[in-house]
Amino acid sequence: MIDYAAINYTAVLVAAIASFLLGAIWFSPPVFGPAWLRALGKTKEEVCGRQRYALAITAVTTWITAYVLAVIMLGLKIASAWGGAIAGLSIGVGIVATSMLSDYLFCNFRIKLFFIQAGHRVIYLVIMGAILGAWR
């Protein structure tokens, strides 16, 4: 049985914020922003129209992801940055990216879009895991 009271909510919040900030960097113009827009087949103006709504929902879903990862790591008794990073990598590649790939193939999305978006999710799970594991 998982002791939910043992979850470090400060670590969950910090992990969520760090991952949210990674997204700001990842999708910025110097990194993958322009390539992401091209792979989407959209302009910056088309994407920015719903930006406030999307950012608000993303903040909530990122916190939920950090919380669930903390629960999983607690259940697995992972209590180190390295162990957390490996857990994040395993979940990112083994569950998130593989699930996304079938969606992308069935929807006929560009493979470049998959690599940009799945790569972001895998890296943010590694970061989250490292923070949660270190902050036990």
* pLDDT per position as a tens digit, 49-88: 778 888 899 999 999 999 999 999 999 999 999 999 999 9
Are 97 and 49 within 8 A, CB to CB? no
**Res 44: pLDDT:** 84
Q: Compute CA 117 distance to the chain's CA centroid, rounded to the nearest angstrom.
A: 9
Are 91 and 72 within 8 A, CB to CB? yes
pTM above 0.85?
A: yes
Picking from 118, 69, 78, 76, the residue whose alpha carbon sits closest to that of residue 98 is 118
**Res 45: pLDDT:** 81
* pLDDT per position as a tens digit, 2-54: 888 999 999 999 999 999 999 999 999 999 999 999 999 988 888 877 788 88
**Res 102: pLDDT:** 92
**What contacts 122, CB < 8 A, 6 or more positions away?**
88, 89, 92, 93, 96, 97
Q: How many CB atoms lie within 10 A of CB 6?
A: 10
Are 36 and 114 within 8 A, CB to CB? no
